[in-house]
A and B are shown apart, each in its own frame.
Chain A
Amino acid sequence: MPTTSRYARDVAVVAFAQSDHRRRSDELSEVEMVMPVLHQVLDRTGLKAGEIGFTCSGSSDYLAGRAFSFTMTLDGVGAWPPISESHVEMDGAWALYEAWVKIQTGEADTALVYSYGKSSPGSVRDVLTRQLDPYYLAPLWPDSVALAALQAQALIDAGETDEAGLAAIGARSRAAAGANPHAQLRGDAVAPGDYQVRPLRTGDCPPIGDGAAAVVLAAGDTARRLCARPAWITGIDHRIEAHGLGLRDLTDSPSTRIAAEHAGVFDAPVDTAELHAPFSSQEVVLRKALRLDGEGVAVNPSGGALAANPMMAAGLIRIGEAAARIHRGESDRAVAHATSGPCLQQNLVAVLEGEPA
């Protein structure tokens, strides 16, 4: 039993699967990309799609380039006979949140959560400008790297980091990804490189790629039956901030801090942190908000979003990677984080715990 649960039901991540993340996957449709991941995650629990209590997915029409794109991916789930199912136009971490709420109501004991994104068919830097204020900001086409660079420069100006410090984060992430067979950039493949947008260099920016991920959630005894060491979600919360960058202190992430407080991150030490920080500078902000300054915390042992950043799945992967470390006995208490929007506008924080051996 988790010791700190404050919810009606104890819910755990019992299985996680992800695709290999690649720069492009021209030969695969989204359905073809998602299906193997769905099969893998279900195989790990021995469950069939029809035995799952609730299914929820996350994706974006704008990446697919067509309206209602997720309707096709549902076909890959095998939703027949009909299933209890929903979808968020967000990162899969929020689909996991919706599924967790559903299990809390008692209407389901298990949930399948999946998300995916193919960035390769378009220019993701251009595409992401379309999520900005459509009247005042989007018409200027400020791209995601330029906005992240504003945040990075604000951090440097505030004395929170410098370019060498940022480069070290990128190098550490890619080195850690050497042990992650799914990562897109692994080992020492990425030098700091040239400036993309000052002060951010190639090594400070995430790779652009295609990928998918899936998680199975289960409650109480069902979780124990499906997994030798379930990763109990002892806390989960998410918060959003103002959209306008001029209204925010870009060197801080109050929404992450509020979510972390509600999720109970600070109640006890964590040994693992999987942070959705697509830019090296954002890891600096998140470490501060989550108070990850001490020894004994493995930050992004998977390589994080700097090694693989499939849009709409990278946040769910953070939860999956943290859970997988608990499944393997490599972690006892982990924090997982997902983000959405420009410069860390919206943030989700989950605490995952394994039972003592």
Chain B
Amino acid sequence: MTRTGKEPVAVVGIGQTKHVAARHDVSIAGLVREAAVRALADAELTWADIDAVVIGKAPDFFEGVMMPELYLADALGAVGKPMLRVHTAGSVGGSTALVASNLVAARVHRTVLTLAFEKQSESNAMWGLSLPVPFQQPLLAGAGGFFAPHVRAYMRRTGAPDAVGSLVAYKDRRNALKNPYAHLHEHDITLEKVQASPMLWDPIRYSETCPSSDGACAMVLTDRAGAARSQKPPAWVHGGAMRSEPTLFAGKDFVSPQAGKDCAADVYRQAGITDPRREIDAVEMYVPFSWYEPMWLENLGFAQEGEGWKLTEAGVTELDGDLPVNPSGGVLSTNPIGASGMIRFAEAALQVRGQAGEHQVQGARRAMGHAYGGGAQFFAMWLVGAEPPAS
């Protein structure tokens, strides 16, 4: 028998840890279990309701545990169940959620727990990313060294004024004050403090970079019948896609990678979005260095090429703006690398469920979660809505 059409997928449970620089009080297993238990509680489900577990994180070198899903099977209630481990560099949190979503959409499983984590205090992320390989370009002392030249290229290409980066950082750090799970709560933040912070990788200043966080994020995804039983409003997946392109090649546009454009276009096609700027109410985008907000606004089709920085400068992306970007405070305020993409996806879902608390965008009906990784080459995105998808 052939069943046609995908099963609609709903997010019915979301759990995060309070992200901090170092969770010395818990093991890796304790950290992930905390997020998973909160997601189950939110969904009002138990471990027995979970058919499969899909887990993601960024490189195993960060904690020094090879394939940690083996050790984490017990902590995540996976014993006797299927468990998949996804790794797509910085986009992994998003990719992990999409793999879990596909299990439900394909009707292989009905209710899936998906989780992503990083316990960065177990190591040093900058040097964890800087292991040299013969005959290959090193990552130039961490991710900032890799991405700073591309920010420069963006500034030169668009004529964006120097101040745009600090505006993004100032906005995201203020948004984070409204998010109890955010890592950085800088109550005395001012635009002047951001602009006076030390230059790390010119033009990226200290306060325009993401922190290193310990943290985990989990979601419970389920089918139409599972959503019908949910006591709280679910978030419905209207579209999801992944795209990848090579790391280094002559034609690559590091400022606006084609894989990002294609990925967004696929998500909009699935969700029936023709004018993302008007039809999407909130965006959680992966902005590890502040300048990536205007860059991704263009890459994702929210602004014409060369115009992204104007939206930022005009306050469009503020929490009370026309297109709020990173109401949660974003990666700039919280960066457990492997979890960061899933946090974007989960925060988008919180927005359309109306459960984002103080950083809720009023009336948000459709929200986008975005993640990228590697040398701006891996992209994962989803669009969630308060209403079930039409088909």
A contact residues vs B (CB 8 Å cutoff): 7-9, 29, 55, 60-62, 65-68, 70-72, 74-75, 78-90, 94, 97-98, 101-102, 104-107, 127-128, 130-135, 138, 237-244, 247, 254-255, 258, 340-342, 345-346
Stretch of B73-81, B193-201, B291-299, B316-324 at the chain-chain interface: B73-81
B258–A81 CB distance below 8 A: yes
A67–B128 CB distance below 8 A: yes
B86–A88 CB distance below 8 A: yes
What per-residue 1/0 map shows which CB atoms of B91-115 lie under 8 Å from chain A? 0000100110011011110000000
Which residue of B has the minimal Cβ distance to A103?
B106
A94–B84 CB distance below 8 A: yes
| Interface: B232 (CB within 8 A) | no
In the complex, how many angstroms separate the beta carbon of B104 from the nearest chain A beta carbon?
A: 9
A-facing residues in B328-383 (Cβ within 8 Å): 373-375, 377-378
Stretch of B147-155, B222-230, B239-247 at the chain-chain interface: B239-247
Contact partner, B87, options A88, A105, A133, Cβ 8 Å: A88
User: Do A87 and B258 form a contact, CB below 8 Å, given A74-B246, A132-B71?
Assistant: no
In the complex, how many angstroms separate the beta carbon of A129 from the nearest chain B beta carbon?
A: 9
| Interface: B24 (CB within 8 A) | no
Contact partner, A82, options B71, B74, B244, Cβ 8 Å: B244
A130–B66 CB distance below 8 A: yes
In the complex, how many angstroms separate the beta carbon of A204 from the nearest chain B beta carbon?
A: 23
In the complex, how many angstroms separate the beta carbon of A42 from the nearest chain B beta carbon?
A: 17
User: Do A88 and B102 form a contact, CB below 8 Å, given A68-B129, A82-B259, A130-B65?
Assistant: no
| Interface: B157 (CB within 8 A) | no
Q: What B residues does A79 contact at CB under 8 A?
A: 244-246
Interface centre among B84, B103, B373 (most CB of A within 10 A): B84
A-facing residues in B125-151 (Cβ within 8 Å): 128-129, 131, 133, 135-136
Cα(A105)–Cα(B4), bound, Å: 9
Contact partner, A86, options B66, B67, B82, B242, Cβ 8 Å: B242
In the complex, how many angstroms separate the beta carbon of A25 from the nearest chain B beta carbon?
A: 15
B contact residues vs A (CB 8 Å cutoff): 2-6, 27-28, 58-74, 78-89, 95, 98-99, 102-103, 105-108, 128-129, 131, 133, 135-136, 241-249, 251, 257-259, 262-263, 266, 373-375, 377-378
B103–A101 CB distance below 8 A: yes
Contact partner, A68, options B3, B66, B89, B135, Cβ 8 Å: B89
Q: What A residues does B246 contact at CB under 8 A?
A: 74-75, 78-80
B67–A341 CB distance below 8 A: yes
Cα(A242)–Cα(B98), bound, Å: 26
Contact partner, A254, options B65, B71, B74, B80, Cβ 8 Å: B80
In the complex, how many angstroms separate the beta carbon of B7 from the nearest chain A beta carbon?
A: 9
Which residue of B has the minimal Cβ distance to A55?
B244
Q: What B residues does A133 contact at CB under 8 A?
A: 71
In the complex, how many angstroms separate the beta carbon of A354 from the nearest chain B beta carbon?
A: 20
In the complex, how many angstroms separate the beta carbon of B200 from the nearest chain A beta carbon?
A: 20
B108–A88 CB distance below 8 A: no
5 closest Cβ contacts across the A-B interface? Answer: A67-B59, A104-B106, A82-B259, A85-B244, A89-B87
User: Do A82 and B59 form a contact, CB below 8 Å, given A8-B106, A75-B246?
Assistant: no
A86–B245 CB distance below 8 A: no
User: Do A82 and B5 form a contact, CB below 8 Å, given A67-B129, A134-B28?
Assistant: no
Cα(A294)–Cα(B375), bound, Å: 53
A61–B61 CB distance below 8 A: yes
A240–B83 CB distance below 8 A: yes
Q: What B residues does A60 contact at CB under 8 A?
A: 60, 66-67
Cα(A188)–Cα(B228), bound, Å: 62
User: Do A258 and B80 form a contact, CB below 8 Å, given A62-B60, A81-B258, A83-B243?
Assistant: yes
Which residue of A has the minimal Cβ distance to B130?
A67
In the complex, how many angstroms separate the beta carbon of A6 from the nearest chain B beta carbon?
A: 9
B70–A98 CB distance below 8 A: no
B84–A62 CB distance below 8 A: no
> A83-B244, A98-B84 are known contacts; what are 13 more A-B pairs with Cβ within 8 Å?
A8-B3, A62-B67, A67-B129, A67-B131, A71-B378, A81-B262, A82-B262, A88-B87, A101-B106, A134-B71, A240-B82, A345-B70, A346-B73
Cα(A67)–Cα(B139), bound, Å: 10
B136–A72 CB distance below 8 A: yes
Cα(A72)–Cα(B86), bound, Å: 17
In the complex, how many angstroms separate the beta carbon of B61 from the nearest chain A beta carbon?
A: 5
A135–B129 CB distance below 8 A: no
In the complex, how many angstroms separate the beta carbon of A2 from the nearest chain B beta carbon?
A: 12
Cα(A104)–Cα(B258), bound, Å: 27
A88–B136 CB distance below 8 A: no
In the complex, how many angstroms separate the beta carbon of B66 from the nearest chain A beta carbon?
A: 4
B66–A128 CB distance below 8 A: yes
B65–A101 CB distance below 8 A: no
Q: Enumerate 28 A-B pairs (CB-CB under 8 Å) in ascending A order.
A: A8-B4, A29-B135, A61-B59, A61-B61, A62-B60, A62-B61, A62-B66, A66-B61, A66-B131, A74-B377, A80-B249, A82-B245, A82-B258, A86-B99, A89-B67, A90-B84, A90-B85, A101-B102, A104-B106, A105-B105, A130-B64, A131-B66, A131-B67, A133-B71, A134-B28, A134-B63, A239-B81, A242-B74
Q: What A residues does B86 contact at CB under 8 A?
A: 86-89, 98
B131–A65 CB distance below 8 A: yes
Interface centre among B58, B244, B247 (most CB of A within 10 A): B244
In the complex, how many angstroms separate the beta carbon of A329 from the nearest chain B beta carbon?
A: 27
In the complex, how many angstroms separate the beta carbon of A9 from the nearest chain B beta carbon?
A: 7
Interface centre among A104, A132, A138 (most CB of B within 10 A): A104
In the complex, how many angstroms separate the beta carbon of A346 from the nearest chain B beta carbon?
A: 7
Q: What B residues does A340 contact at CB under 8 A?
A: 67, 70
In the complex, how many angstroms separate the beta carbon of B376 from the nearest chain A beta carbon?
A: 11
Cα(A59)–Cα(B373), bound, Å: 17
B85–A89 CB distance below 8 A: yes
B73–A240 CB distance below 8 A: yes
Cα(A183)–Cα(B138), bound, Å: 35
Q: What A residues does B108 contact at CB under 8 A?
A: 7, 101, 104
Q: What B residues does A80 contact at CB under 8 A?
A: 245-246, 249, 251
User: Do A67 and B74 form a contact, CB below 8 Å, given A8-B3, A86-B242, A87-B87?
Assistant: no
A138–B79 CB distance below 8 A: no
User: Do A102 and B102 form a contact, CB below 8 Å, given A71-B89, A71-B374, A86-B88?
Assistant: yes
Cα(A7)–Cα(B374), bound, Å: 34
Q: What A residues does B5 contact at CB under 8 A?
A: 106
Which residue of B has the minimal Cβ distance to A29?
B135
B60–A9 CB distance below 8 A: no
Contact partner, A240, options B79, B242, B248, Cβ 8 Å: B79
A97–B84 CB distance below 8 A: yes
A237–B82 CB distance below 8 A: yes
A88–B66 CB distance below 8 A: no
